[in-house]
Chain A
Amino acid sequence: MEQKWVVFQLGENAYGLDVQSVRSIERLQPITRIPNAASYVKGVINLRGVVTPVIDLRTRLGFETLEETEETRIIIATLEHGDAGFIVDRANEVIEAQDVRIEPLPESGNAENAYLTAIAKGEKELFSLLDPNRLFEEIVHA
């Protein structure tokens, strides 16, 4: 099957997630804070009756926090241990694999790169592929 990616933005940066692992893209909704959790854990939302954890991808990837806008979205991904969401600035398109070339990550000492798997390069676009499972590792403070 043709591979596709959901591409979303954090500021100027574009990231891609395998469309297979994306359950839905939600508008921002009330989030209940989870006390004593890691700073990037935004809280939980009521996703059609299921209590679903949500993280702030900006904080997780070491970006500064930003005011939410009309375009802010929660991407719900299906992960190893259940569904979870992460907040992005904007989610706009689905890109097909035939339009891009996958390249390995450039060498760098950047700790946030641990969540990336590769770089996808198209004619116009360039985005990093995320491993969503790694984003949700150890989200609770011991």
Chain B
Amino acid sequence: MDLNEYLGLFLDESIEHLQAINSSLLKFEQKLDDEGVIDQIFRSAHTLKGMAGTMGFDGIADLTHEMESALDLVRSKRQPATPELIDTLFVAAEQIEAMVDDIANGGKGKRDVSETVARLKQFSNTSEETEVKKASTANPSSTFKCDVYSESVVKQSLASGYNVFVIDVALSEDVILKAARVFMVFERLQSLGDVILSDPTSDELEQEQFETSFRVLFVTTNTAEEVEKSIGAVSEVAAVTVADYAPEVSAEVAVTAIPEVSPVSPAAKEETEQGPVAAAKTIRVNLERIDRLMNLFEEFIIDRGRLERIAGDVESPELTETVERIKRGTNELQSLVLTLRMMPIEQVFNRFPRMVRSVAKDVGKNIKLHITGAETELDRTVIDEIGDPLVHLIRNAVDHGIESKADRLKAGKQEEGNLTLRAYHAGNRVFIEIEDDGAGINHEKVTRIAVEKGILTQEDAALLTPEEMSMLLFAPGFSTAETVTDLSGRGVGLDVVKSKIESLGGEVFVETKLGEGTIFRISLPLTLSIISAMLVQLQDETYAIPLTAIIETTSLKHEAVLQAHREKVFDFRGQLVPLIWLTDVYGLESAESEAYSVVVVRSGDRLAGLVVSQLIGQQEIVMKPLGSYLEGIRAISGATILGDGRVALIVDSNALLRK
């Protein structure tokens, strides 16, 4: 196998490790002393380094090497983590990602990483300098054999201006209650400061497993004299010497040496990553195979429809029964095949913490991102497409939704803004919400701008409901930023977001409260390819209306059709709802009749009654694209192949209801 064949594997794994690094970095930032998280980053960096080295991607190898060195210092408590270090690690991860991207696009993955490398090196070096300096100024001093944890405590204490002493305590040779004396000494010490370590250990001391003297490493704000005096006062203490702590020379050597870490064995890795939770066994499957399986299954569904039709014609009980069994079997198979294509939205969400962090930094805001429901699963096709619209909405929330620090304080809020990203299933749809606790949408301002930009007239604006005013944000050519920032003003408006989501069969809603915040809610179908639909007849043509859009089907007497301002409407549960003759929409003759079959559909908060010639019935259909040659056909979202092999078009009710 030559290197090229490894490339796919390298890319897959690099992306996984980068995701792991990114999410761990964010946790690390929250909790600087979480060893598990540091370990995780260290391991991922280490694996990346190994792979990149083998593949000859030096930039990645250099960066990961330095990340590893810096992290090892933190991991072994020789150097506390600093915000600067985390920033640098973020930058490094970003650069690695860019290089991996480049490689994925056929590039060489080259990039100038010297600055980041230098910054990481600098971090690793400061650790040596401080210790050397300390050692040379200490006087009188004494060493203490420390573990790495204690060492870092000592370092932090010294850095914060505490005194660190090595105290030798000798008890009288004839002491009777050794443990009691030790207890008293410790009690006094604890009233003065903190005992970090003792030699022998406190357990051994308690069990009197020592001769007559012991040594403690002690952190305090008091002076050596005060400590000495206090302890000397304990009965049966023969001698006390208090000396400044000096790090051991051997520890110093360990700092400068680059730690060689043996690769973690796969089994051990699994265990640490997943902890006590028993993980389901998984295998990697090429996406292409799943897509092929899906295509084959779609063919099968079409044939099943054909079979059902034949069975209906033949009326043989045996055939009908068999077809019925096939139908049940394929239904199960369908849900299985569909779940194969489902992926947790985590994949998409993963990139947002870092993005929010950097965007917030750019605009000088302090924003905390909360993510819930990252495990919510969605069809892969949707996952692939939903990222960009979400990026846009999140940037929008950070940029425009959440107020500046000053404004927040003025409004009596916490300086730190909150952004919540939420995903959940409800019915056969998936909802994604982006909620901020910002200023809310100023309807007056939004409407004014919309009128100024000629999106609607002053008269029309006066008639808008608050919801409709919010939706103006999504109108083409709208942008509320009064000062064009780096983030907005990129010429792409939220209208693009809306049309993208609609092309996925989804919808966007906005909920807002002035002064309290805004929620952008996206509703998406669980899956795109196989959907339930109502088949209807328009003259002699068959069309499919997705069931997700349908509220109900009803029959309407001719007299029940009302005329309102040149529009035909009908009374649907006390609400006047416009009627749309699909025959008109699709260029067919509309015939008057005694009664009409009406399919009531909904898009957002808008309802309409679609008048059809005849209802045929409900069926599972496989959505097929019309192809790029027929892309912009009005009010048609795709096609499907019916049981008889003919093509039926799918009605795009969202487009029909859009004004």
Q: Which A residues are closer than 8 A to B by beta carbons?
A: 30, 32-37, 41, 43-46, 49-53, 81-84, 136, 139-140, 142
Contact = CB atoms under 8 A, between A and B. Distances in A.
Interface in B588-644: 588, 624-634, 636, 639, 641
B585 A35 contact: yes
A32 B645 CA distance: 11
B299 interface: yes
Interface stretch (B48-56, B129-137, B216-224, B646-654): B646-654
A51 B625 contact: yes
Contacts of B587: 35-36
Given A35-B587, A36-B633, A46-B641, A51 B626 contact: yes
B298 interface: yes
B541 interface: yes
B649 to A, nearest CB: 7
A60 to B, nearest CB: 13
Contacts of A43: 647
B149 interface: no
A36 B649 CA distance: 13
Contacts of A45: 647
A30 B634 CA distance: 22
B634 to A, nearest CB: 5
Contacts of A142: 632
Contacts of B645: 30, 46
B646 A35 contact: no
B630 A44 contact: yes
A22 B540 CA distance: 32
Main secondary structure of the interface of B (DSSP, over half): mixed
A30 B646 contact: yes
Contact of A32 (B628, B629, B631, B647): B647
13 contacts: A30-B646, A32-B646, A34-B633, A35-B588, A35-B636, A36-B634, A44-B630, A44-B639, A45-B647, A46-B647, A51-B647, A81-B627, A84-B629
Contacts, number: 75
A79 to B, nearest CB: 8
B640 to A, nearest CB: 8
A37 B630 CA distance: 8
Contact of A51 (B541, B585, B634, B641): B641
A81 B298 CA distance: 23
B639 A32 contact: yes
B628 A35 contact: no
Given A32-B639, A46-B641, A53 B633 contact: no
A136 to B, nearest CB: 6
A90 B505 CA distance: 42
Contacts of A81: 627-629
Contact of A140 (B295, B632, B639, B648): B632
Contact of A82 (B628, B639, B649): B628
Given A32-B647, A44-B647, A49 B629 contact: no
Nearest to A49: B299
B534 interface: no
A81 B626 CA distance: 12
B633 A37 contact: yes
Given A32-B646, A41-B630, A44-B639, 16 more contacts: A32-B541, A32-B648, A32-B649, A33-B541, A36-B587, A43-B647, A44-B626, A51-B626, A81-B627, A81-B629, A82-B628, A82-B629, A83-B627, A140-B631, A140-B633, A142-B632
Contacts of B633: 34-37, 140
A142 B633 CA distance: 8
Classify the interface of chain A: helix, strand, loop or mixed.
Answer: strand
Contacts of B624: 50-51
A82 B648 CA distance: 20
B649 A139 contact: no
A136 B247 CA distance: 80
Interface band, chain B: 20 to 34
Contacts of A46: 641, 645-647
Question: 7 tightest A-B contacts by CB?
Answer: A35-B586, A32-B647, A81-B628, A51-B639, A51-B624, A35-B587, A53-B629
Nearest to A50: B624
A132 to B, nearest CB: 12
Contact of A53 (B299, B627, B632): B627
B491 to A, nearest CB: 23
A140 B586 contact: no
A34 B627 contact: no
B302 interface: yes
Contacts of A53: 626-627, 629-630
Contacts of A36: 586-587, 633-634
A57 B7 CA distance: 47
Instruction: Point out which of B588, B629, B636 has the most chain A C-beta atoms below 10 A from its C-beta.
Output: B629
A81 to B, nearest CB: 4
B528 to A, nearest CB: 15
B629 A139 contact: yes
Nearest to A44: B647
A34 B630 contact: yes
**Max count, chain B CB within 10 A of own CB: residue among A34, A35, A41:** A35
Contacts of A51: 624-627, 639, 641, 647
Nearest to B641: A46
A81 B588 CA distance: 29
B641 A49 contact: yes
B87 to A, nearest CB: 46
> Looking at B295, B630, B632, which has the most chain A CB atoms within 10 Å of its CB?
B630
Nearest to B538: A35
Contacts of B646: 30, 32, 46
Nearest to B296: A49
A51 B139 CA distance: 87
A82 B625 CA distance: 11
Contacts of B630: 34, 37, 41, 44, 53, 139-140
Contacts of B647: 32, 43-46, 51
A7 B634 CA distance: 35
B4 to A, nearest CB: 28
A46 B298 CA distance: 13
Contacts of A140: 629-633
Contacts of A136: 629
Given A46-B641, A46-B647, A49-B299, A34 B636 contact: yes
B536 to A, nearest CB: 14
Interface in B279-314: 295, 298-299, 302
With most chain B CB atoms within 10 A of its CB, the pick from A32, A43, A52, A139 is A32
B627 A82 contact: yes
Nearest to A55: B629
A75 to B, nearest CB: 15
B299 to A, nearest CB: 5
Contact of B627 (A33, A37, A52): A52
Interface in B143-172: none
Contacts of A35: 585-588, 633-634, 636, 649
A83 B627 CA distance: 9
A39 to B, nearest CB: 11
A81 B628 CA distance: 6
Nearest to A79: B629
A32 B625 CA distance: 14
Nearest to B629: A53
